[in-house]
Structure 1
């Protein structure tokens, strides 16, 4: 009788390993959703730009009108909030943002449900992002999970988000390191013990890239707002 092959020892996945894997998967799914909604996003971006300029022009006009009457900073704030032109401009911006952002986000969410459930219930027991980092999703007995539990685990992830990410941070708590949605679904995210918790160089670079991209986008938005404000005041002079 042949001997049973040795089973790989496993350990709970580290928090950064889990995040890096999730962000890899979501980056791909968001890219697909953005490409699929490309025309809507381009049109929406133009609407957002127009609506934002409308807010800035309305703000600049209200400030100029009030300053001519010797208004205080409190008067400026009250006048800006009470100005029907400003409320209309804010409503237009809100509508433009919703029409631009919600469709790709909804599509990405639907793709994510199918993606995570199918891959985590497959023989891989992992999405491509998790597999790249040597992670697997198992039940409390270390066994492969079914499609229903995998889908339930993904949907339970909403609980981790609506708790202001406290549900995700539970994955930092030893010894089980289960996020809230893992506890709800009765699952664990494991890694091969011989991998260790240290991220490979490429995964560290991926996380650094996300930080750099976040800083760059924030700086771009601030500069764009400053440029719009400058254009509005120049138009009034």
Structure 2
């Protein structure tokens, strides 16, 4: 699991002795109460099969539905931002905007393919968050519907869609591959567009993003065991007591 930012971490070799964990080279490990650690073991060392099944199960929740829009950031060496959207500049935080981006093209999430039909039987298509075991998280997206008038109507994945768009709008590039997690943006409920990497990585954090929070809460309900630490409340400094008479 991931527990957010902190001090440097260190690996400690441990051994199970008489029902307790001890330092491999002898003695207890002097840790503070409340210390959290990762325990990495071989799966065949877990004696309780029901427990093993519980912590290794795969679950998924739908994050975006069929037909949801996605923005693709491209660099076509234009002298000014060439908008595919008539509404103007998309609301993308500067830290997430790819360097040299001059164009945003809108694509849509299409119906699922045959393989996804087995994985997500209840949905017609969309973007899913898959939780595999305790700490492995993946995004799965059904095929992408390309913009109207594009030579090929459907791409099999976001990466495939990016390659085709890059070939169309970025002829100056020698390679037309790219990272879909940083070049594809999804709409948040507050009007911002954020990269798919935020969805993929943010499930392990109590980020103040509605789609991430909603997806994780659904996973928690299905898992029944994996609850992240609550978001720390922002402390508000107390106002000075003006009636104290102190100068």
- Range into which the TM-score falls when normalised by the shorter chain: under 0.3
The structure carrying a bigger strand percent of its residues is 2
TM-score, normalising length from structure 2? 0.24
The structure carrying a bigger helix percent of its residues is 1
Higher relative contact order (CA 8 A, sep 6+): 1
